[in-house]
Structure 1
């Protein structure tokens, strides 16, 4: 029996060790990506959805005055209070203080995400993206820690820290999501176990696993937060919960520092050259790339009628559904006098039912009734519109229409199902009408539309609350917006959209082939 020469054996062993190293690196990258989801998801589920709106309203109320007599300090005996800003030249409702802050934070988040995405698109390596994740994760968590230490008279600093934290999370979310296709491609190329796996199936599996890990992390943080705020309802207890979310974020993102590694040596060398260029003064040139990519995406989208129709409708739908959450939290606190502990339970119910809705509606409900993706989206909008419609009944009836705290628990289940269903089905519809090969460009536009829409709704609700000092009137606005989106969605023709997308892809390929022939 021949065992081959010694050099051949050594080469085989070396190749085997290198393969094992590459497989381990690919798997570590996936683990690191899971830590991104595990560390940051509690911020949006716990801090943004519950604690920050409550803190903003509480700080505003503590420093506020009676809406009827500005010389009387706001107290528990005054249901309607306003906060004086800019040396009392402007008075806003205490609920509006939270809503305006949220809109401002989304505005800055959108601008920052577009700008930073240019750097990420130019410097494509995992090493650079890891630095971005860790840096903005640290800034976001530090903002929460500082926020938790504020005194009640520092209400001007509170919205600033909220804006910084939410903007930082936006960058972390976009950069973290951009790593998934890179890791999927590397895993399939390196790991023999995954070689025969369909890339789309593996992407869906890893994405679903990461989402589940993030939801489990958020659920765990919410349960622990119950223990932190259960002793009393003072703002100090809510600040303890915010502190915990900040420490959770910075602690659990740490493993990414050694788990996330580069997958392409050539790209690593290019990034090193880019970094040298940036140190020579070209950094701003690269930051413009994100805006040029956005304009390119808008140019592509304008050529596709149904993409434009969908994005307009999605802007309205996303804005309405997101605003329902912040409005419901403030309504429960100010009108129904619900405790912070109760609102945390409502948040947990919403999250659990969002998971149920995201799984059941596209996989079982729509298939059982033979609904198209477009029809399913319309039915979910009708389902979600029941929430503001039910709140409007409170103007007519004394005992129903969100008059009692227990009704909010029912609405939390209802809202969670619609939220999960919308998230799953909207992406499915959009994916059907965009050109193949341009998914990243169009989904970046989808993401900006999704997040950017949240600027408008809270401002409108805040303006309405300032004029009426009754946040219940916002249900009229939210119901009208959801109803307005239905005829726009009805204008959508998925079959036509698919055909237009295929035609655009064909034309771009012909132009590219002609350019190659000329060169």
Structure 2
């Protein structure tokens, strides 16, 4: 994609030299946004999707006992095992330990995301947002590095560090996503080669490139960690993988500090511009932290004007819950039911990444354009594609020869899941950015994150509950298939044109209210 600045400023009404400088800053901002995806995406794709569930189940198994006889350790057994918690007052399936921990991490993540999103809206400064990205990126990466130093009996510490890392990633993800609409707007405004581009398609293209870059990064990390684990003394040393992801995150987020900058002087919602650079004070001021919650309540209050945003968020809540839970369930199912090794599971993860890259790039760039699919229809078709995965797992109850009965079937499902994961990552983010009010990106992307990540509180808990009762994780495929099918009629009622009008109306109402308040 060209970001040339020739004749820049001709249609913007500003000095050409200044416009050229703004175009260059915009180019750097988009590069910085790609580095945000490049540095942090391996955490979501590699750590959360592979290493953390495996580590949690491994630690639980090494400290667990057999289901039928709690006096026998299951550390060396392939039988069904449970872990005793709180001085053995409660026993849960070793797979459920990973699922419950993930649900708890998403709960804390949701609370922190809402709090920090208000800061991102108060300060329009790109520079400030870059500091938020780096601040939480450092804490998240350090948590992963500390995981690599734990002993196998420290399963409570493992759960706490996993919760911390996932919570930090949630903040990074929301703030990073909130930058996309403003960068696209600046690109069209200042770059002559992009001025005639459609906002919708340009947003989808940049979002797709970012998703592809992130998955490419995760792919490299998976290959590198597979090599490290294979070379280690123990091929089940998954902690090496967690450590490498942490080091990758903290190292590659460094360019963000140098690349992200304000194109023009940012406007502030509050009169606090004098200390906009005082990051440490700004981050922990109560009135600023409270703004995120106030904004969320205001957004919910105005939901009557944003019918289609509500429809999208409900649908996305269901989809995200299903896809996130499919991943963790498949990993745990492969290990506990199909007895696949750590290296085999990493290979499956690599296949998933390769196909996620293909899905994130080719679906919005070629397939959707080739068949003239709208963003909404593209999303619906991808959901139908993804629903095949749990449906195939359900067939295992009725057939002995297929239906995830053999290890090789998981490699086929990796291809199928990767295509759907990459496509949804690119299309959902760009679609949502088109229907939200301008100037409130951080707040509404926090709603997106709540439904995206917050939904994961529900799915893993339900799957964990089913697994605890049946000690057969295959039953979860019924739940996951039902959720994916349920999302289709919900999203089918979405009207993009109406949604844009709703967003403009909300912006007008809030402007009128602000003028009225100032007059008094």
TM bucket, shorter chain: 0.7 to 0.9
1:161 alignment counterpart: 161
* 1:361 positional shift: 4.2
Distance 1:181 1:311 in 2: 18
- Residue 469 of structure 1 deviates from its aligned partner by 1.0
Residue 6 of structure 1 corresponds to none
Q: Distance in 1 between matches of 2:50 and 2:385?
A: 23
Over aligned residues, Cα RMSD in angstroms?
A: 3.4
Q: Does 1:411 align with 2:410?
A: no
How is 1:101-140 mapped onto 2 (pairs within 5 angstroms)?
101-140=101-140
After TM superposition, give the deviation of residue 199 of structure 1 in Å.
5.9
Measured in 2, the distance between the counterparts of 1:185 and 1:84 equals 54
Alpha carbons 1:388, 1:475 under 8 Å: kept? yes
- Pair 1:482–1:73, CA change in 2 (3 A): same
2:464 to 455, 462, 465: 462
Conserved? CA contact 2:211–2:426, under 8 Å: no
Cα displacement (A) at 1:466: 0.7
In structure 2, C-alpha distance between the alignment counterparts of 1:282 and 1:431, rounded to whole Å: 28
- 1:248-327 to 2 correspondence within 5 Å? 248-265=248-265, 270-273=272-275, 283-327=285-329
Give aligned pairs, total.
502
Change (3 A) 1:249 1:467: same
> Given the superposition, is the C-alpha separation of residues 177 and 308 from structure 1 closer, same or farther in structure 2, using an over 3 Å criterion?
closer
Q: 1:108 & 1:296 partners in 2: Cα distance?
A: 22
Once the two structures are TM-superposed, the CA of residue 115 in structure 1 deviates from its matched residue by 0.3
Gap change, CA 1:124 and 1:501, over 3 Å in 2:
closer
* Secondary structure at the counterpart of residue 179 of structure 2: helix
Describe the shift of the 1:120–1:439 C-alpha distance in structure 2 as closer, same or farther (beyond 3 A): closer
CA displacement at 1:219 relative to structure 2: 1.3
Classify 1:465/1:234 alpha carbon distance in 2 versus 1 (closer, same or farther; 3 Å).
farther
Native 8 Å contact 1:96 1:462 kept in 2:
yes
Contact kept in structure 1, 2:33 and 2:256, CA below 8 Å: yes
Aligned equivalent of 1:335: 337
Q: 1:167 to 1:235 in 2, by over 3 A?
A: farther
The residue correspondences of 1:199-278 to structure 2 (distance < 5 A) are 203-231=203-231, 234=234, 237-265=237-265, 270-273=272-275
> 2:450 is matched with which residue?
448
Contact 1:141 1:165 (8 Å CA) reproduced: yes
Instruction: Tell me the CA shift for residue 486 of structure 1.
Output: 3.4
Write the distance in 2 (CA, Å) between the matches of 1:22 and 1:126: 13
Q: Which has the larger radius of gyration?
A: 1
Q: Please give the alpha-carbon distance, in whole angstroms, between the structure 2 residues aligned to 1:367 and 1:25.
A: 30
**Secondary structure, aligned partner of 1:77:** coil
Q: Is the 8 A contact 1:233 1:340 kept in 2?
A: no
**C-alpha offsets along residues 77-106 of structure 1, whole Å, 9 cap, x if unaligned?**
342001111011001100001001111111
Which has the higher mean CA deviation after the structures are superposed, 421-430 or 45-54? Answer: 421-430
- 1:49 CA displacement: 0.7
Q: Which runs of 5+ in 2 are unaligned?
A: 1-14
- Structure 2 match to 1:7: none
